[in-house]
Amino acid sequence: MIKRPLIIDCDPGIDDAECLMMVQGSGQFDIRGITAVHGNVPLELTSKNALFLSKLYGMDCPVYKGAKEALIQRLTRAEYVHGSNGLIGFEYELPEDAEFAEGHAWDFIWEEAVKQNGELEILAIGPLTNLAIAVMKYPELPKLIKNLVIMGGSAGSGNFGVYSEYNIAQDPHACEIVLQAGFPNFTMVDWNACHMVHLTEEEWKPLLNLPETNKFAALAKRMLEFEVVNKAKLREEGTNIFPTGDDHYTCDPTAAAVLIDPEIAQYVEKYAFCDCVGEMTRGQTVIDWLGFAPLKNIKLPVAMDREKFVEMYFKCVKSYDREDC
Amino acid sequence: MLKKKPIIMDVDTGVDDTLALLLVAAADTLELKAITTVFGNCSLETTTENTLKICELLGLDVPVAAGAYRPVIDPPIDYSVAPMVDIHGRDGLGNVGNRLPAPTKQAEKMAAADLMAKAIKESEEKVTIVATAPLTNIATFLLAYPDLHEKVECIALMGGAAFGGNMGFSVEANIGHDPDAAKIVFMSDVPKYMFSLDATMGCFITDDERQAIADNGGKTGEFLKDCMQQYSDIYKALGGLPGAVLHDSLPVAWLLDESVVEFKHCYVDVELKGVKTRGCTVTDLVGYTGKSANTYVSMKADREKLINMHIEAAKKFN
C-alpha cells in the first residue's frame, strides 16, 4: 500500500496528542512533517509537545515551529482544559536526539506540497495561522493540496463564544484567509461534528489499564484521570460546557477519523465565511445554509458513525502494543 | 364569557402578515386595539395601503397608523431593487392586491408610537404587542413612552434566529432591516418572545392546505390562496420547501394556543458591528455570556396545528 503523504499542523494540546496517536496508529500515512502553531498553549510548549509526541509515537519526521501569535488578534489561552504545559501536566523528557527542523512551518508546507506534486494532504487541528501565512506567501498552495481536513469552527453553538469555536476564535483572520483561499477539497470538522462521537465510560475505562508497553498508556491514563477531576470541578462551578455524563468527548480525534476514513461521516457542501470584526460574532464560521452565495468552499460533517469511530480509535491504540512500532 | 386578550399589531403587510391578520380577525379570544405599519416587506406607503385593504377584507375595524418609513440608522431601502419584491410581489400582496377595492378608510393622522400609547393607556389590561416587521416602531414607542413599559404584557415578535438566516447567512430579515431598532427592543425591560426562524421555517403551507383555505373561505379564502401563490413558488424554488412559510402567523397562533410553540428562555443580543453578521440575533443557548435570560426563543412549532388554525379561520369568511 502506498502511504498517503501528510503534514499535521497542530497545537498540542491533549486532544492533539490523541489525534496524532490515531493518525500514526492508522498506519495509512507517510507523515512528512509536523508543524506546530500557537493555540492551546504558547508555541514554545506546543512545539515541544509536538516534538515529544512525534518521538513517543515513533513518527520519523521533522517537526517545525510555526507562528507564535495570531495574525492580528491577541487572546488568552485555554489552560483550563489542557493544563499548564498543554499535556495536562504530563511530564516527559525529550530524547537526546530530539531537535526541531530548521526553517519555517509555512515554507516547509509549500516545499513539501511542490515535492508531492498534488498528492499532499494536510490535517490542521489548531488555529489556522501557519496555513494562512503559507497561503499569503504562496497563493498557488491550495491547488497543490489534495485534501485539507481541519478541526475548527462551528456550524451551531460554540465552545469559546456563543457561536465561536476555540481554534478559530484564536485567529479568525487566519480562518477567513484559509476559507477563501480556494482549497479544492476542504473538510471542516466543526465543534458540532465533534459532539457526534465519544467514548462511553464503559469504553474508555479500559484505556486506564493498557499494558505498560503500549506507548499511549501513560498519556491516556493521565488524560482520563485529569478529565474526571476537571469535569467534577467544572460541574461544581456550573461552567461545564461538555455534554452531560462521564462520556469522553474529544475534538481533534474526530478530525483524525474523518481523515483516516472519510466514509465515517455524511457531509453537506456549503459556503462559509469567518466573521473577524463582530462584537459578539467574531470568530464565528457563518454557514450559508440557504445557498445565497454562488459557490461552496467546505464539506461539513452532519452525521458521524460513532461505533465506527470507537472501533477505529481502539484499533489505533492497539497498534502501539507492539514493541517495535 | 372568556376575557379577550388585548393586542396591538405592528406589521409590514406583506403576504405572511396578511395570514397573521386572518388569524387575528377570526379569533374569539383576541381583542385587536390598533394596527401600526412600518416599512419592511415593501415601502411604508404600500404596507399601509395593504394593511387598510386587508382590514376591510377581513372586517377588522380598528385604527391604523403609519410609522417609520426607514430604519433608525441604516439608509432607506431602495424598493426598486430590493429582493423582497420577488417574494411578496411588487404590491406586497403577491401581485393580486389590485383585486381588492381601494380602502375606504384612511390611516390615522398620528404617529404610530402615539397610537400604540393611546391604545395601551385606554386598555384596562396589559397589552400584548405583536410585531411581524422591522422593530423600528416598537423601538420608537419604547423610547418615547418609558412609563408605559409596565403596561406591555409582552412583545411577541417575529424575527431573528438562533441559527441560520433568510436575509444574510445568519441574519433574519425583520431584524436585519433595522438591527439598531432591534437592539433597543432586546435591551428593554419588557418581556420578549422571539418567534425566530428556528421554529417558523418549519411552518410551511402545502398546496393542498392552501387550496383548503380557498375551499373553506369563500371569496376571501380564494384571495388568500392566490395572494400566497408567488410567495409559495419562491419558497419551493429557493428554499426547497413544500410551500410558503407563514412566519408572521406564529406569534398570533401562540396567543391562541400556547402549545403551538416550544421555547428556550435565554439571553439574546443583536450583533451590530459584524460586517456580514450585523443583525444576527446572538442567542446564548449555552450560557457563555453569563448574562441573564431576557427572551423566550421559539425552537420548535407544531406546523399542522398552525395550518389548521388558518383553515378554521378561513371558514368564518365563507
B chain contacts of residue A282, beta-carbon cutoff 8 Å: 274
Measure the CA–CA gap between A80 and A84, rounded to whole angstroms.
8
Res B1 pLDDT > 80: no
Q: Which fold has domain A4-319?
A: Inosine-uridine Nucleoside N-ribohydrolase; Chain A (3.90.245)
Catalytic residue list contains B247: yes
Helices (H) and strands (E) in chain B, counts: 13, 11
Closest residue to B275, CB basis, from A161, A277, A292? A277
Residue A279, pLDDT > 60, answer yes
Cα–Cα distance for residue pair A109/B171, rounded to 1 Å = 37
Asked if the model's pLDDT at residue A242 lies above 70, the reply is no
> What percent of chain A clears pLDDT 70, i.e. is strictly above it?
95
Whether A6 contacts A123, CB under 8 Å: yes
Residue A53, pLDDT > 60, answer: yes
Sketch the domain layout of chain B as residue ranges. 5-315
Cβ-based contacts of B238 with chain A (< 8 Å):
290-291
In the predicted model, what is the mean pLDDT of chain A?
Answer: 93
Whole-number pLDDT of residue A231 = 83
What's the pLDDT at A74?
80
- Is pLDDT at A260 greater than 90 in this prediction? yes
Choice between A228 and B161, residue whose per-residue pLDDT is larger: B161
Measured between CA atoms, the residue of chain B closest to residue A270 is B169
Cβ neighbours for A179, distance < 8 A, ≥ 6 positions apart: A186, A272, A273, A274, A285, A297, A298
Query: What's the pLDDT at B20?
Result: 98
What is the dihedral angle through the alpha carbons of A278, A281, A282, A283, rounded to the nearest 10 degrees?
-160
- Whether the complex's predicted ipTM surpasses the cut of 0.90: no
> Shortest Cα distance from A113 to chain B (angstroms)?
33
HSE-up (13 A, CA, CB side) for residue A198: 15
Q: What is the pLDDT of residue A325?
A: 47
> What is the rounded CA–CA span in Å between residue B134 and residue B36?
12
Question: Hey, is the C-beta of A275 within 8 angstroms of any chain B C-beta?
Answer: yes
* pLDDT tens-digit map of A80-90: 667 788 898 89
pLDDT at A240: 61
Other beta carbons within 10 Å of A235: 12
B266 Cβ contact list (under 8 Å, min separation 6) = B283, B284, B285, B287, B293, B295, B297
Q: A138 - beta bridge partners?
A: none
**Residue ranges of domains in chain A:** 4-319
Which chain A residue shows the shortest CA-CA distance from B240? A290
pLDDT of residue B89: 92
Indicate yes or no: CB of A288 within 8 angstroms of CB of B273.
no
The stretch A249-272 carries a mean pLDDT of: 97
| DSSP 8-class letter at B190 | S
Count of Cβ atoms closer than 10 Å to residue B31 Cβ: 16
> N- to C-terminal Cα distance for chain B?
25
Confidence class of residue A244 from pLDDT cuts 50, 70 and 90?
low
pLDDT, tens digit, 9 for 90 and up, residues B171-206: 999 999 999 999 999 999 999 999 999 999 999 999
pLDDT at A246 over 90: no
Q: What 3 state SS string does A24-91 have?
A: HHCCCEEEEEEEECCCCCCHHHHHHHHHHHHHHCCCCCCEEECCCCCCCCCCCCCHHHHCCCCCCCCC
* Residue B133 in this model has a pLDDT that exceeds 60: yes
- Give the SS3 label for residue B42: coil
Q: Are B269 and B283 in contact (CB under 8 A)?
A: no
Name the average pLDDT for chain B: 96
Under 8 Å between Cβ of B226 and B94:
yes
Q: Are strands A120-124 and A63-65 parallel, antiparallel or unpaired?
A: unpaired
Chain B interface mutation, best of A162, A176, A287, highest count of B Cβ atoms under 10 Å: A162
Of chain B, the percentage scoring pLDDT greater than 70 comes to: 99
Confidence (pLDDT) at A80: 60
Contact B280 A156 (CB under 8 A): no
Q: Between B249 and B1, name the one with better pLDDT.
A: B249
Nearest to B288 among A161, A277, A284 (CB): A161
CA distance A106 to chain B (A): 29
Q: CATH number of the domain at B5-315, please?
A: 3.90.245.10
The residues in A 185-204 lying below 8 A from B, measured between CB atoms, are none
Per-residue model confidence as pLDDT tens digits over B252-306? 999 999 999 999 999 999 999 998 999 999 999 988 899 999 999 999 999 999 9
Contact pairs from chain A to chain B, CB under 8 Å: 73
pLDDT digits (tens, 9 = 90+) for B89-124: 999 999 999 999 999 999 999 999 999 999 999 999
Q: Is B292 touching A (CB cutoff 8 A)?
A: no
The answer to whether B280 faces chain A, any CB pair under 8 Å, is yes
pLDDT for A132 equals 97
| Torsions phi, psi for B294 (to 5 deg) | -130, -5
pLDDT at A78 exceeding the cut of 60: no
Residues of chain A with C-beta less than 8 angstroms from the C-beta of B272: 279
Subunit contact B286:A292, Cβ cutoff 8 A: no
Give tens-digit pLDDT for B55-67: 999 999 999 999 9
The single-letter code of the amino acid at B132 is: T
Task: Write down the catalytic residue from B88, B149, B177, B247.
Answer: B247
d(CA A154, CA B110): 47
**Best mutation site among A163, A288, A292 for testing chain B: the one with the most B CBs within 10 Å?**
A163
pLDDT tens-place string over residues A154-203? 999 999 999 999 999 999 999 999 999 999 999 999 999 999 999 999 99
Cell of A301: 460533517
* Model pLDDT, residue A269: 98
% of residues, chain A, pLDDT over 90: 84
pTM, two decimal places: 0.89
Instruction: For residue B95, give the H/E element and its range.
Output: none
Q: Please report the pLDDT score of residue A197 as a whole number.
A: 96
Residue B96 is predicted with a pLDDT of: 97
Rounded CA-CA distance B97/B94 in Å is: 7
Question: Across the interface, do A280 and B269 touch by the CB < 8 Å criterion?
Answer: yes
